[in-house]
Structure 1
C-alpha cells in the first residue's frame, strides 16, 4: 500500500471546504525522513489560510487542493541515505513546511531530518504535536520584547495556545507576568504562574500597574487599547500580522517601541521546550482532539476564539 489520507483545502472559504483526499506516500530525499504522523497541531494560521487570508493563501491560490498543517508528531518509518541523526522507530516532532508547503494534515510526511526534535517516551505525542509553532511563537515574542528577570510583562489572551505557553516561558525567565483572560479562565491562567486579569471587568489599564513589555496576541482594537498598559519607553510585540501596522503606528505615537513578528522555525528552541516538557517544567493543555476527518470542527473551534490551550488532530498511529 503506497497511499495515505490527507485533509486538504479544496477552495477558500468556510471550514466545510476541508475535505479528505488520497495521495501517494512521499519518498524521502537523501536528507529527509518519512514520518508516520500520529498527531497534527491546529493553529490559527491554518484557519486564516483556509479562509483565503494571508500570504500563504495568496501564494497557494493556484495550488488547490492544498494540505495545511505546520505541526506534526509521530514516528520515523524510513530514513534517507544521508541521514545519520535519526533512526526508524524514533518518536519525533517538528515545525514543518512553513510557510508555503504545509502538509501536516497527512498520515505521512517527508521532512528534513534536521528540522525534527526527538520526543522522549514520557511526553505524549499529542503534546509534542501541539508545541512547535505556538511554542516558538511564544519564545520568539519574548525574545523580541527583551522580556527579562523582574520585567513586568502583560500577555493578551493568556489562556490560548500561544498565550499559555508564553506565560510559562516568561515565568521561567523570572518575569512578573500578567495575562488577560475571561472569568472562566482565571484559575487556569493563575495556575500557570501569571496574575490573571479579567478583560470583561474593566479596561486592562485600570486594573494593572504599567508594564515594561506587552505581548499582543489579539491585535486590532484590543491590541491598541492594551497599549495604555505600557509604561513610557516600553516594548510591544504584536503577533497578528493583519493588524500589526496599525498597532505599531499607534504604539509609536504613544512613545513605545513596537514591532510585528512572524515566527521562524527553530529546532534549537523546540529541543529546549521538549526538554522542559520532559522535565515537567512546561505544561501543554490540550483543549480537544479530533480525528483528521473532523478537521472542520477543529477549525470552527479555533475561529470561535475561546479555546483554552491547543487543539490537535489525531491523524494515524497510536502512541
Structure 2
C-alpha cells in the first residue's frame, strides 16, 4: 500500500509517498480502505515540528500524518461486532490516515448513513468535534447569547457557525469579503471583514469569543467581549498568551484540545444526514499530492475543508 510519511520535521516537501506492507490487524481492530483523509492545520503544524502533536511523535519518526479518515471496512478482527465488511465508516486516529489502507480500533469509528456523502463524512470528525466541544464543553454557549467566531469560513469555523445557530445563539462571523455570502447562507447573523477597522468599531459586545486564529488576532478580539465574558482559544501555540491577557481584563479564558467521542461524532453525522449541518469541501487532492494540500492549508485562507483522496 502507499502511505505519505515524514522522516524529519520541516516544510511540505518532507511528505514522501512510500510503499509499505499493511500492518497486522489485532482482534479488536478493522482494516479500512481509505476513501478520504482530512487535511487539517494540526497536520501541517505537526509535520513542521510545532505544537503538542510534534512533541508526541518526535521519537517515532518516520511517521504518517492524518488524524481524520473515512473509508470502507475491508476486514474485521475476531472480537469486532460493531462493524462488518462493506460498512462505510469515519473517525479519528492518532495518525496514519494518509494511507491507502488503515488499521484502526473498531471503537474509534462510526458508521456513515447512506444519506451522507463520503466527502461530507470525511471532513466532519476533527473539525466538527472541535467546534462542538469548543462551543459547549468549554464555552458553555447558551441560547440568546452572542458569540464571535474568528476564521469563520474555515474548517472548524464554518461548522461552529452552524452549530452555534442551532444552539440558539446570535452568531457574529469574522471573514474576508469573498466569504460573506457563504457565511450568510450558513446562517451567520452578522458578518464582518476582519481587516475593516470601521466595521469592527460598530461591533456590539459579545458573550463568547471562539478564537480560531490566536496570536495577535486573538489578543485584539478580547476588546469586543462584554465584562465577564468568556474566551475559548483553539491554537495551542499561542493559547497561554491569549489566556493571560484575557484574565488580566477580567475575562474567563481557556484553551482546548478536542477529545475523541464517538457518540458526539454520531450525533454530528446525524445532523448532516438530516441536512441541519453542512460540511463544505473546497479542495480534494490525490494522496500523491499531499504536499500541495499542506501548502494550501498553511495559507490560512481555505474555505471549509481540504481532503486527500485514497
TM-score by length of 1: 0.95
Is the CA contact 1:197–1:207 (under 8 Å) kept in the aligned structure 2? no
Task: Please state whether the residue corresponding to 2:289 is helix, strand or coil.
Answer: helix
Which structure 1 residue ranges, 5 or more long, are not aligned? none
Pairwise CA distance, 1:203: 6.4
Is the CA contact 2:147–2:206 (under 8 Å) kept in the aligned structure 1? yes
Separation in structure 2 between the aligned mates of residue 207 and residue 162 of structure 1, nearest angstrom: 25
Alignment of 1:193-208 (within 5 A): 193-194=187-188, 195-202=190-197, 205-208=200-203
Separation in structure 1 between the aligned mates of residue 12 and residue 294 of structure 2, nearest angstrom: 6
Separation in structure 2 between the aligned mates of residue 269 and residue 193 of structure 1, nearest angstrom: 22
Q: Tell me, yes or no, if structure 1 residue 191 matches structure 2 residue 185.
A: yes
Which structure 2 residue ranges, 5 or more long, are not aligned? none
Is the CA contact 1:72–1:93 (under 8 Å) kept in the aligned structure 2? yes
Q: Tell me, yes or no, if structure 1 residue 75 matches structure 2 residue 68.
A: no
CA offset digits 1:30-67 (Å, max 9, x no partner):
11111111100000000001111112212322322210
Q: Tell me, yes or no, if structure 1 residue 236 matches structure 2 residue 231.
A: yes
2:289 corresponds, among 274, 290, 294, to 294
2:134 corresponds, among 141, 153, 162, to 141
Runs of 4+ that moved beyond 6 A: none
Alignment of 1:40-79 (within 5 A): 40-79=37-76
Task: Please state whether the residue corresponding to 1:65 is helix, strand or coil.
Answer: coil
Q: Tell me, yes or no, if structure 1 residue 152 matches structure 2 residue 146.
A: yes
Is the CA contact 2:194–2:200 (under 8 Å) kept in the aligned structure 1? no
Separation in structure 2 between the aligned mates of residue 204 and residue 214 of structure 1, nearest angstrom: 17
CA offset digits 1:1-49 (Å, max 9, x no partner):
xxx1101112211111100011111232111111111100000000001
Pairwise CA distance, 1:205: 4.6
- When residues 79 and 249 of structure 1 are mapped into structure 2, their CA distance, relative to the original with a 3 A threshold, is same
Task: Please state whether the residue corresponding to 1:55 is helix, strand or coil.
Answer: helix
Is the CA contact 2:233–2:242 (under 8 Å) kept in the aligned structure 1? yes
Task: Please state whether the residue corresponding to 1:304 is helix, strand or coil.
Answer: coil
Pairwise CA distance, 1:174: 0.7
Q: Which residue of 1 aligns with 2:123?
A: 130
- When residues 188 and 177 of structure 1 are mapped into structure 2, their CA distance, relative to the original with a 3 A threshold, is same
Q: Tell me, yes or no, if structure 1 residue 272 matches structure 2 residue 254.
A: no
Q: Tell me, yes or no, if structure 1 residue 120 matches structure 2 residue 92.
A: no
Is the CA contact 2:164–2:171 (under 8 Å) kept in the aligned structure 1? yes
Separation in structure 2 between the aligned mates of residue 306 and residue 276 of structure 1, nearest angstrom: 26
1:19 corresponds, among 8, 16, 20, to 16
Is the CA contact 1:27–1:34 (under 8 Å) kept in the aligned structure 2? no
**Aligned-CA RMSD value:** 1.0
Is the CA contact 2:7–2:61 (under 8 Å) kept in the aligned structure 1? yes
Decide which moves more: 203-212 or 126-135. Answer: 203-212
Is the CA contact 1:39–1:125 (under 8 Å) kept in the aligned structure 2? yes
Separation in structure 2 between the aligned mates of residue 274 and residue 203 of structure 1, nearest angstrom: 39
Q: Tell me, yes or no, if structure 1 residue 213 matches structure 2 residue 208.
A: yes
Tell me the matched-pair count.
308
CA offset digits 1:153-209 (Å, max 9, x no partner):
000010000000000000010111111000111111111111211112116651310
Separation in structure 1 between the aligned mates of residue 209 and residue 158 of structure 2, nearest angstrom: 15
Separation in structure 1 between the aligned mates of residue 225 and residue 197 of structure 2, nearest angstrom: 16
Task: Please state whether the residue corresponding to 2:49 is helix, strand or coil.
Answer: coil
Separation in structure 1 between the aligned mates of residue 198 and residue 70 of structure 2, nearest angstrom: 40
